[in-house]
Amino acid sequence: MPSNIPFYSLLLVVLLATLALFVSPTHLTPQQEQEHQNQKQKNSGFRVKLKQVDSGKNLTQFERIQDGIKRGQHRLQKITNRSSYHDLRAISSPVSPRDVSIFSIEFSIGTPRKTQSVLLDTGSDLLWIQCEPCINCYKQNNPIFYPNQSLSFINLSSSSELCKALPELVPTDEGCEYYYKYLKGSYTSGIMARENFTFGDVIVPNIGFGCGVDNEGRGFSPGSGIVGLGRGLLSLVSQLKETKFAYCLPSFDDPNNSGTLWIGSLERILIGELKTTPLIGNWFEPSHYYISLRGISIGGTKINIEKSIALKDDGTGGIFIDSGTPVTHLEENAYGLVRDEFIKKFKLSEDKSGLYVFDLCFNFPNEGLVKVEVPELIFHFHGADLYLPTKNYMIEDKKNRVMCLGIFPSKDLSMFGALQQQNVLVIHDLKEETLSFLPTECDQL
């Protein structure tokens, strides 16, 4: 076993072997694996509701975003640190979720069906939930899944395609055991299996997932696990062989606002003219959805930041879209130009109290933000200009009469975050390798 697996790994191996034997005495052979792939519904399109993780908490919008940013700064730091290395095995591991994942979805699993709520992550691939019998499970809202109580649970073999796609495989003769590490001590470990999943009223059979009996990570709770929507073979989108998926993140004004995730057919939701930009591949970070940002306009002044934001040949730099990061982060040189332009355009005094996690804040007059002339912000992606409403980049603290810019600097890597995506339908077309935007009232779809 790899040396970085927790010290009680021997107990884990024994438990996993027992679980594999008790739950399913047979495994899928490579031929059966292919048959199950062929059984997948070609038009298994479905939609599910996106809920804000902080829904139900008594926090203001400013407080919720500020708390999310504190978690998100850890996420960015981890990604940036990882992208500076050239150990491709290390790079293939995902980032830490919820350091941050701020949205969750609900589905049912097994026969009979058991409801689970998992965190959404477009920056990693593996779909996993906690399973009994646990040796190390955190507290979750739903009852933990018992595979021995499901008639449709089947272990994957170590020769299966999904098992071979794991970034770190636990050597064993007992099926496919995995150790999937995030960063800073977070991980999930267990057995890979197939199960029937139900999304809304759509049943999707034989989805490969991790049945985790040893799970450690402060950001996982209260969800049952993670659903990865990245570009790798393990992700839900790749397994369904769907060429399109989309999400619409709700307004952060109310934590009870909900959005929607679609996988598959999108014809019913396409209203209006799409803004489309190409997706860019990064071999060093294969799970992420990179795009090309050519410039940013602030109050009518266009800033050319393409050189600073460009994806480099060694896999560093670039910008990718991420539903789990609360706000956009820009490479520090590009951010500096944006920051300076906002200071020039605003007719307000800069808040230098240092009381806020935000990098740039302004004090506003007694009339409030409504009476303040806020400079317009446009992101110029390759072939797509995205005009953002004020609430998608300026965050108001009414109590302290301060408003802050919802964009942060980063050392190298840039991410287009969730605040900037609120009330924007984001469509991933994996066949055409494009990403499209459509401003929409997400909670009304």
Task: List, in order, residues 6 or more apart from 279 with CB less than 8 Å away.
Answer: 289, 290, 291, 428, 433, 434, 435
Q: What is the largest CA-CA distance in the chain?
A: 71
Chain mean position to CA 394 = 23
Cis bond before residue 143 (omega within 30° of 0): no
Task: Name the phi and psi angles at 19, rounded to 5.
Answer: -60, -45
Helix (H, G, I), strand (E, B) or coil at 231: coil
The tokens 């800069």 sit on which residue? 350
Q: Which residues are catalytic?
A: 121, 322
User: Beta 27-28 vs 154-156: how paired, if at all?
Assistant: parallel
N-term to C-term CA, the chain = 48
Exposure class string for 247-266: b at 16+ Cβ within 10 A, else e: bbbbbbeebebbbbbbbbeb
Task: List, in order, residues 6 or more apart from 367 with CB less than 8 Å away.
Answer: none
**Cα(399)–Cα(421) distance, integer angstroms:** 25
Question: Radius of gyration (Cα) for the chain, nearest Å?
Answer: 22
Among the listed residues 244, 187, 255, the one whose alpha carbon sits nearest the alpha carbon of residue 432: 244
Residue 118, classified by CB atoms within 10 Å of its CB into exposed (0-12), middle (13-18) or buried (19+), is buried
